């Protein structure tokens, strides 16, 4: 029996159609993900990010459907294989804040926006009224960013701030979709040197950033946009843990 026939037999034809890009959203139907992976040797997240062509019947609908399917596959990947790591990292954040220490965050571009978003949720509030918690995005002070870049080079723009603002017992959330951003890696390296715990948020392989972090969550997706969407979801989950666990 061919692979396509096997998929049809197992999934009523829906996963087979998804595999051939006529209906990619079917990959995320209940029970289809595991069946697809057993037969094709790929996770849906991997299959949905390999540049398969859009259909010509309605290119925009196909594009949107494919992107939403990729998003669902990335989030399903977190649920299937990363939940324990997300919980461990969230617990580290909660323990850090409970002990009176602070959270530092850094990243470039969209990851800088995520760093600021998460910091704002902690300093303000997420969903529940609670006390404010100390969280600093190292991406917001334009005077410091430009001075440090000019005097020390952009690769040290976050590491220098970690040295100035961080302390043993704090935690640094280092965000890089590729895992290869030199300034984020240097920040994690500096954090480790001063006794500051580090949590990495990455995509693809996670390296080399993961090697410098105490905990790393590697999003199972290749497209930067899907990785970033998963990152802010993880950030929200951590904020939800803070709301629930810290009185």
41 vs 102, higher pLDDT: 102
- Residues 52, 98: one domain? no
- Residues 40, 98: one domain? no
- Residues 98, 33: one domain? no
Give DSSP secondary structure letters for 128-157: S------EEETT--HHHHHHHHHHH-GGGT
**Using CA atoms, how far apart are residues 197 and 102, in angstroms rounded to an integer?**
11
Instruction: Establish whether the linkage from the previous residue to 166 is cis, with ω within 30° of 0.
Output: no
Of 31, 54, 81, which one is at a domain's C-terminal end?
A: 81
Convert the pLDDT of each residue in 25-37 to its tens digit.
Answer: 444 444 555 554 5
Average pLDDT, the chain: 85
Convert the pLDDT of each residue in 180-224 to its tens digit.
Answer: 999 999 999 999 999 999 999 999 888 999 999 999 999 999 999
- Residues 199, 114: one domain? yes
pLDDT of 204 reads 83
Residue 1's pLDDT band (boundaries 50, 70, 90)? very low
Of 81, 116, 137, which one is at a domain's C-terminal end?
A: 81
Domain span including residue 56 = 3-81
- Residues 98, 29: one domain? no
Question: What is the reported pTM?
Answer: 0.78
pLDDT of 18 reads 38
**Using CA atoms, how far apart are residues 127 and 135, in angstroms rounded to an integer?**
17
> 215 has which bridge partners?
199
Number of separate domains in the chain: 2
- Residues 31, 96: one domain? no
- Residues 23, 136: one domain? no
C-alpha count within 13 angstroms, C-beta hemisphere, residue 128? 12
Of 81, 112, 130, which one is at a domain's C-terminal end?
A: 81
């Amino acid at each position: 029996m061919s692979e396509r026939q096997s998929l049809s037999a197992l999934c009523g034809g829906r996963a087979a159609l998804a595999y051939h890009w006529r209906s990619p959203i079917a990959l995320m139907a209940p029970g289809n993900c595991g069946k697809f992976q057993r037969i094709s040797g790929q996770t849906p997240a991997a299959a949905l990010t390999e540049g398969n062509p859009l259909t010509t019947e309605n290119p925009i609908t196909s594009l949107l459907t494919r992107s939403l399917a990729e998003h669902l596959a990335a989030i399903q990947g977190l649920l299937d294989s990363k939940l324990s790591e997300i919980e461990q990292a969230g617990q580290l954040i909660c323990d850090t804040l409970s002990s009176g220490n602070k959270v530092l965050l850094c990243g470039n571009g969209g990851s800088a926006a995520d760093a600021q978003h998460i910091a704002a949720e902690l300093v303000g509030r997420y969903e529940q009224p609670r006390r404010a918690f100390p969280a600093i995005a190292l991406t917001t002070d334009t005077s410091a960013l430009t001075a440090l870049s000019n005097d020390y080079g952009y690769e040290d723009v976050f590491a220098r701030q970690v040295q100035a603002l961080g302390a043993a017992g704090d935690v640094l959330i280092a965000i890089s979709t590729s895992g290869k951003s030199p300034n984020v890696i240097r920040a994690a390296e500096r954090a480790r040197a001063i006794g500051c715990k580090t949590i990495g948020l990455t995509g693809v392989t996670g390296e080399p950033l993961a090697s410098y972090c105490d905990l790393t969550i590697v999003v199972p997706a290749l497209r930067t946009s899907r990785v970033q969407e998963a990152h802010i979801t993880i950030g929200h989950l951590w904020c939800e843990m803070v709301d629930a666990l810290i009185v």
